[in-house]
Every structure is written in C-alpha cells, then in structure tokens.
Structure 1
C-alpha cells in the first residue's frame, strides 16, 4: 500500500506541470475572449454613440492617446473632448481586423495591438488593460494612423510645416 501511495504521489508531481500549463492556457483563452469582448464592445459603443457605456470601458485612471501629437488625455479630459461628438451622434466606427493580446505573468494586466478599419482607412489601436474587481478595463489606449512605406515621404512633406513648429516648441 505504501508503494502504491508513493507511486501516486510521484505521478502527481510528474504530471502536475502539464496540467498547470493546460490550465494556464485555458485561463488565457478565457481572458482573451473577455478582452476581445471589451474591445469589440468599446468600438460598438462608439459607433452607437453610447457615451456612458463607451467610457465605462476605461479605468478611472486611464489615458487616451489620439492620432494628433497634442492628444494625450486622462479619462475626464477625453470625455470632455468627446462629449459633443456623442451628443451629435457623429462618433467614429472602428472595426478590428486583426488583434494580438498578451498577458503579464500574474494575469492582472494585458496589452494588445490591433489593425482597425476606420474612416481614416487603416489605423492601429494599442494599449494596456487591467483586471479591476474581476473586470477588464482599458488603462491606456493609443490610436495611430498608419502610413504605408510607399508614401511616407509624401506624407512627411505634407505634415512637416505643422510639425516642425511643434518640434521647435517641444525642444
């Protein structure tokens, strides 16, 4: 009986790591689904001009970084800026085409990047999410306009007069 118990204990330790890895994979898949839902809902709430539900996706202490170099807002500042668009129902309609999600070792933070179909054509969304009271919230969101390499020189010429002044100011 002692021998059987010893074999059982040894087997448990040998096979526990694959089970842990399997459980971790299952947990990550569930969390990825939750974050995908958060980000998909986030886009849907904007498209539907649902101000309260859109901003509920953000953590209280969060940052939104927009496409213009001057657009770095905390949640309240972003709400103030966006309110008139939501009130007039002239919001944005983004659709995720591809999304990658990764996690911190403790599973409380995730970060993502995605390719978006928008009225500005292809944009990139990226950010950090945090699990707060069991619910994923956006801690930081960065929206970037993509520039195909084939036209980057032309785009640079167009934006240079505007951004040269800003560069001088920031120096």
Structure 2
C-alpha cells in the first residue's frame, strides 16, 4: 500500500514538473529575448539596424529629462555616437517578458549593466508581418534607495544653479 501511494505521489509530482517545463510561450519568449539582445548589440556595434528595429513612430526616453524622442529624432541625436563606430553597450542581467494572449503585444522590463552602472528599462513591442518592432523604450539609472536622498539633492542643486537654466 505504501509503495503504491508513494508511486502515485511521484507520478503526480512528475506530471506537475512536466507541465511547468513545457510552457507554450517559452519558444516565443526566447525569440523576443534574442531580438532585444540583438537590438542592444546593434547599438554597441553602431549598426544602423538598431533603428530599423524601432517602430516608425516609436519613442525612446533616455535618462535625462530632456531625452524624449521619436525614432527619427533619436537617430539624429545618436548619429554622433554611431558615426564613431560604437555607441552604448547595454547587457541585460535580468529581463521579464509579458505578452497579450494573441502574442501581438509584448512588454518587458530589464536590468542592464551599462557604463552608467546599473540601469533599468521597460519597453513595449509589437509583432508585425515583418517581425518585432520596439514601439516604446524607457531607460533610467537605477538609484539605490539608501542614496536616493543624496541623488535627489544633487539634482535639485544642479537645477537651481544658474548654469542649469
């Protein structure tokens, strides 16, 4: 009896493990992650394909409060970096991917290793007949809570200074 009960429990547990391991969205999530990683790599190597991965009316929000561009404005701003042969290098250390039931709309958040330190970003993508496009991306510097007061004071002091006007 004990052996039969143990066998049943092991069978049920193995079924649960198989169900978790066979996430139907996993291959799609893998494609999405590869697309975003390639997008970041395009910037690191100043490949024009970086901007092709953004929707025509896509939006990029940078770390400075003045950095709000549509794709073409962003491309013009970034030209000075891309002309040098390398722009910025972002490597995701963590990413969460979410999607609509029909898998046409994707949103994600990520932690990034950058020259500015740890940054975090979020983005919105959609699936088109040609593939994925980034419609919205927002980058921010991740400020640890214990130093947030110092950072806020530095920003306030900077913005209050006449040179900042």
Is this a same-fold pair by TM over 0.5?
yes
CA distance in 2, matches of 1:112, 1:164: 35
Q: List per-residue Cα deviations over 1:71-102 (Å, max 9, x = no partner).
A: 11000100000011100134111100000000
Trace 1:129-168 onto structure 2 (pairs within 5 A). 129-163=125-159
Per the alignment, residue 17 of structure 1 pairs with none
Paired with 1:89 and 1:164, the residues of 2 have a C-alpha distance of 37
Superposition TM-score, scaled by structure 2 size: 0.80
Could you list the per-position Cα deviations for residues 103-162 of structure 1 after superposition, in whole angstroms to 9, with x for gaps in the alignment?
112211010000000000100021101001151110101101010011011111110134
* Whole-angstrom distance in 2 between the partners of 1:129 and 1:163: 34
* Equivalences for residues 66-145 of structure 1 within 5 A: 66-145=62-141
Distance, in Å, in 1 between the alignment partners of 2:57 and 2:100 is: 19
Where structure 2 has 5 or more consecutive residues not aligned to the other structure, the ranges are 1-18
Tell me, what secondary structure is at the counterpart of 1:136? strand
Which structure features the higher share of helix residues? 1
Q: What is aligned with 1:48?
A: 45
Distance 1:100 1:164 in 2: 37
**Contact kept in structure 2, 1:129 and 1:140, CA below 8 Å:** yes
Over aligned residue pairs, what C-alpha RMSD do you find?
2.1
Q: Distance in 2 between matches of 1:153 and 1:47?
A: 32
Is the contact made by 1:34 and 1:136 (CA closer than 8 Å) also made in structure 2? no
**Alignment pair present for 1:58 and 2:54:** yes
Residue aligning to 2:32 = 35
